[in-house]
Structure 1
Amino acid sequence: MKKILTVLAISFSALMASSVSLAGPHEKNNNYRGWDQSDQPKFSRGRDFREDDDDMQDKRRMREERGFKRLQQHKWQPGYVMPQHYRGDGYKVDYKNHDLPKPSRNQQWYKINNDYILVDTDSNNILRIQGF
């Protein structure tokens, strides 16, 4: 068994040594015909995204502000479905702290744009709107 492992180790080493000696050059050489980035045309080199980073951030900020303004202008009415954006814990309020009527089972108060909105948590339908 020991002889077989020795023979395998030696043949594997010889195989690795021969493959390394057959590898092409790694330095830039005029005779070497491999891919060279400097030979590539300028238009196909890829895009440098760092140049447009400020423009992209400005566009993203403007798009978020438009979306926020649109959500602020949303008209709430009983019977409408509460948008998913507002269903998070950040909008939930405790009725005791805000002098609101106690909600029934499966109901929750939310504060959105200075309005308190009572929502059915099963169907997400707006049940009542109370403005202050």
Structure 2
Amino acid sequence: MKKILAIIAISLSTLMTMQITSAGPHFDNDRGYDRGDRGERGNRGRQFRDNDDGDDIQEQRREREQRGVKRLQQHKWQTGYVMPQHYRGNSYKVDYKDGNLPKPSRNQQWYKINNDYILVDSDSNSILSIRGM
């Protein structure tokens, strides 16, 4: 009985020690990155920046979003094209009665995007018709 208790006690202490040593990451500096002697390959493309550059990063993201919005606004719709997924949400769907549009067939839906009404086949997401305002 004493041998079994000793084995259990040793097993538990070993298990506790293993959990403590693997509990958290090991960092060498105050930024949280383990630079070590890994060279370029070990850093996996990370760039180490100060917090002062955070405003520049936010500005770059904002400009990139604005360029994307402008690009989408300039998009020319054509029949036969596939409707991009980000336009398939309920916020772009319109009722055909509100825009004086012809009634869509089964599995078709009208969308209003950039002052254009676009009729889309719900099964294939292909553009069937385009009506400007």
Q: TM-score, normalised by structure 1?
A: 0.65
Q: Which runs of 5+ in 1 are unaligned?
A: 20-34, 39-43
Shift of residue 47 of structure 1? 3.3
Shift of residue 81 of structure 1? 1.4
Equivalence for 1:41: none
Q: Could you tell me how far apart the structure 1 residues matched to 2:122 and 2:4 are?
A: 69
The AA in structure 1 aligned to 2:130 is: I
Q: Could you tell me how far apart the structure 2 residues matched to 1:93 and 1:85 are?
A: 16
Superposition CA RMSD, Å: 3.1
Q: Could you tell me how far apart the structure 2 residues matched to 1:49 and 1:93 are?
A: 47
Q: Could you tell me how far apart the structure 2 residues matched to 1:126 and 1:7 are?
A: 74
Shift of residue 4 of structure 1? 7.5
Equivalence for 1:108: 109
1:1-132 → structure 2 map (5 Å cutoff): 47-132=48-133
Greater Rg by CA: 1
Q: Which runs of 5+ in 2 are unaligned?
A: 18-26, 37-46
Q: Could you tell me how far apart the structure 1 residues matched to 2:100 and 2:131 are?
A: 11
1:50-84 CA-partner distances (Å, limit 9, x unpaired): 22111011000111111111111111111111112
The AA in structure 2 aligned to 1:97 is: D
Shift of residue 97 of structure 1? 2.1
Shift of residue 109 of structure 1? 0.3
Shift of residue 112 of structure 1? 0.3
Shift of residue 7 of structure 1? 6.6
Equivalence for 1:28: none
Aligned residue pairs total 107
Q: TM-score, normalised by structure 2?
A: 0.64
Identity %: 62
Structure-2 change in CA distance of 1:84 and 1:4 (3 Å): same
